[in-house]
Amino acid sequence: MSKKALIAIGGNSLIRAGQRGTIEEQYENAFSTALSISKMLKNGWEIIVTHGNGPQSGAALIRSERASNEVYTHPLDMCVATTQSEIGYILQRAFNDAFIQENIKSEVMTLLTMVVVDENDIAFKNPTKPIGPFYTRKVAMDKKKNLGWQVVEDAARGWRRVVPSPEPKEILGVDLIGKIIDMGILTIALGGGGIPVIKKENGSIIGSEAVIDKDRSSALLATVMKVDMFVISTDADKVYLNYKKENQQGLELVTLSEIKEYYNQGHFPPGNMGPKIEAVIRFVEQSHNKAIITTFEYLPDAIIGKAGTTIIPDNMKKNFN
């Protein structure tokens, strides 16, 4: 039987530190990521790719805001939908070219994905997810007054808009994703954490002014799809304790109990590795399969335990001794 993996690629797979984020730069970065993932296809893996969209959504919001006197504006759910298509197009081109280079006979498809959130989620009363560019205090306060934004100060960098980040409750179209995967097609889905929607009692769907955490929704999709492995590709080669301190220590193979203990000790900040650790804990707990955190350059080695951080259920440790 084929092995199934969900790979959640982060921002560095499209826009790296110091880059402006042009379409050309995004394509080149996506191509490098696609090459790494293509090696897994050669080894018999069926793959679902999810991705972040932070910089792209920020750019979409700026375009919408600055052109508001001439064209209609985009709410957040529409920004997510737009960037799902934009990034999906870039990734599809990258995978197509990677398949040609690696002589792989396969296809790739992007699926717009909606995710149901609870309209009574406490996150709507306490927005915490920063989006868009940094502003001076004066500009931020003007937008708060005139546009009704919630804004917060980001130490030393300025002020930013914050929006609700509710829990993903249900991923719509899961059966369709399964059918596409079963056809041997690499599937790009759940971009930017999914388009946030609210489902009414009569089954109708409306957009929600929110942003869903990409790693949380990816963990949910990985669990529902019963994948054998959940991979988070980020900008760190592995997970570290005491990150960027003199006693920094990289983790290679850890059990679920061990990573939960490190998490409770405060090693993984909320704005950095914290959400990724939360996501892999959820997946490993519910699926009893392994998860990996690494950067895309090390992905082929991480799959065979030679790079990255692998998190396994406690009862699986005996198989690695």
Catalytic residues: 11-12, 129, 214, 276
> Rounded to 10 degrees, what is the CA torsion of 278, 282, 283, 286?
170
What is the Cα–Cα distance from 91 to 112, expressed in whole angstroms? Answer: 14
Query: In 3D, which of 273, 279, 83 has the Cα closest to residue 188?
Result: 83
What is the Cα–Cα distance from 254 to 312, expressed in whole angstroms? Answer: 6
What is the Cα–Cα distance from 182 to 163, expressed in whole angstroms? Answer: 37
What is the Cα–Cα distance from 102 to 32, expressed in whole angstroms? Answer: 12
Give the Cβ contact number of residue 154 at 10 Å. 13
State how far the alpha carbon of 150 is from the alpha carbons of 48, 84, 159, 164, 210, in Å.
Answer: 34, 25, 10, 10, 12
State how far the alpha carbon of 276 is from the alpha carbons of 17, 245, 294, 303, in Å.
Answer: 19, 20, 11, 18
Length of the chain: 321
Return phi, psi of residue 262, to 5°. Answer: -60, -40
- What is the DSSP annotation of 96-164? HHHHHHHT---EEEEE--EEE--TT-GGGTS--EEEEEEE-HHHHHHHHHHH--EEEEETTTEEEEEE-
